[in-house]
A and B are shown apart, each in its own frame.
Chain A
């Protein structure tokens, strides 16, 4: 694969780099936001909700990373992470506004 890679065009390499960055940093963002959203919406006491959120976040991270390499293009990798991020940030922001958190 290395030998093949050497012959691969720059655009392909940039796309792979972009997917890796999306997976590592975008994936972390999605996972962190998922843990926060779970924490503020779960009907548990504070400490339990926090622990549940953290425990589940790694599964979200995993799915996010797989998504980044399974989707059709590097752009869709970013879109697929940023859309849920915005939704989760809004949802947990609403909870905070309503005084849940």
Chain B
């Protein structure tokens, strides 16, 4: 019976992992890249100058800019610069033309020191990877639903995987390199176990993040049709006074930052939003930056009267239930992480991606062995092979193409940011076509080699097209830009190594046809024990 249970779990692990593996690989890889979202933004829009931080001065500049350019807007949102994200971001929403409609949003990025509007190349930057990893470039809310479903499948695959491997720690110290299928399985186990706490945290937290979307039964049971009341109770800061329709000048906002800091015993503000600026009932919501603590608190904000500057409301201490959910949110996002911890997030994220990738390779490898002698692969195995190649090597290449497009597309091109994304998807689509047309191993080698070349050449391309090349950034100590170039270079070297390994393995397989390797399929169940 016990054996039967483990076998059932192995079955579940195998098939849940296969069906969602390709999607999960893409979600994990782009999510991992999103840990360096701000640094990627900086590389993709290097025109934003890094300035000494001064929240009060920046806020005053933003207020002047918005009073000039958007005096009639219904809402202003100001994102204050921080060490990782040096731009001063202003957004405003036009008053809706008709009641019940949502007004148009406009966004600009200002120089944090001069308040001048920056002339930037249009680009989604790292935001693209961040958005893709939970919206999957699909219309709202389908992408979010699909990625949350994938997260639940990941959760099931993780736990059933743990049950399948009963000798988890013994397995961890067993790595048998250069043994083909065996090594892939050892690697899959080691990657899984080594960063198991991260896998569990990241998967469970992604469910918690979208829980009110995917699991709203308890909200409906307690609040009925008045769902709005739930959000008002959870996020008290969202409760702001209605418009009075009486003009009154907005007070200078800079002094409000100091008052907010007092409320948070020194915590820094991240966002300032102004509702109905220029109205007698204008309100200013100063929201705390998420980067100074682990537990994320959406409601952590102080609301001021925009005319008198009086405090209207400060969010109370977060209740325990919200602190737990906020803790998972904070751990998932990693806003609090400093450079060392951020790199650790990046590395374990890559390990998770590799665990999914090795799992897909194992599934196929173990079934391919049975057909090795005949040399003919059944359609479904060929399909998996094509999807493996395109979803892994193809995706990595598409990421490189996205960065290339950022440097090569003309600045004046209309819809430039969209064209960067189109380039990404075109490259990804071509990788599918290529994988269909070429034999499996050749397709792997060629796509890996191409991705390697694209990544390794990125620092050179950057040097040719911008004045922010390694020779400058290393000397200036701009570690975000230099780190990006160096990481691309390292990625290029790693992919070269991967392509070379793939080529070598193919060459040796052709030289010595070991009958032992082909005749004895290793089953996952054996490997699991």
Contacts and interface: CB of A to CB of B under 8 A. Distances in A.
Interface stretch (A7-15, A45-53, A78-86): A45-53
A62 B234 CA distance: 26
B8 A39 contact: no
Interface string A26-60: 00000111011011100011111111111101100
Interface string B303-336: 0000000000000000111101100100000000
Interface in B151-166: 152, 155-156, 159-160, 163
Contacts of B380: 2
Given A48-B319, A55-B325, A31 B11 contact: no
B320 A48 contact: yes
Contacts of B378: 2-3
B215 A35 contact: yes
Contacts, number: 105
Question: Interface extent on A, as a size class?
Answer: 20 to 34
Contacts of B324: 52, 55
Contacts of A62: 152, 155-156, 159
Contact of A40 (B204, B221, B319): B221
Nearest to B13: A69
Question: Interface extent on B, as a size class?
Answer: 35 or more
A58 B154 CA distance: 12
Interface string B227-238: 000100110000
- Residue in A2, A3, A58, A70 whose Cβ sees the most chain B Cβ within 10 Å: A58
Given A38-B218, A49-B222, A50-B230, A57 B159 contact: no
Interface in B171-228: 204, 207-208, 211-212, 215, 217-219, 221-223
A17 to B, nearest CB: 12
B250 interface: no
User: Which secondary structure dominates chain A's binding surface?
Assistant: helix
Interface string B350-369: 00000000000000000100
User: Which secondary structure dominates chain B's binding surface?
Assistant: helix
B5 interface: yes
Contact of B321 (A1, A44, A61): A44
A58 B218 contact: no
Contacts of A74: none
Contacts of A38: 218
Contacts of B367: 1-3
Given A46-B233, A62-B155, A70 B9 contact: yes
B370 interface: yes
Contacts of A65: 12, 156
A33 B219 CA distance: 12
- Residue in A39, A51, A57, A69 whose Cβ sees the most chain B Cβ within 10 Å: A51
A72 to B, nearest CB: 9
Contacts of A44: 319, 321
B218 A50 contact: yes
A39 B215 CA distance: 13
A51 to B, nearest CB: 4
B215 A52 contact: no
Contacts of B322: 47-48, 51
B8 A55 contact: no
A66 interface: yes
Nearest to B319: A48
A47 B221 CA distance: 12
25 contacts: A1-B11, A1-B14, A3-B367, A35-B217, A35-B218, A36-B218, A39-B218, A39-B222, A40-B221, A47-B230, A47-B234, A48-B320, A49-B218, A50-B222, A53-B218, A54-B211, A54-B212, A54-B219, A55-B324, A55-B325, A57-B218, A58-B215, A66-B156, A92-B221, A101-B221
Given A57-B215, A69-B9, 11 more contacts: A1-B14, A31-B215, A39-B221, A39-B222, A46-B223, A49-B218, A50-B230, A52-B321, A53-B218, A58-B204, A62-B156
The 6 closest A-B pairs by CB, nearest first: A32-B217, A47-B233, A39-B218, A53-B218, A54-B211, A48-B321
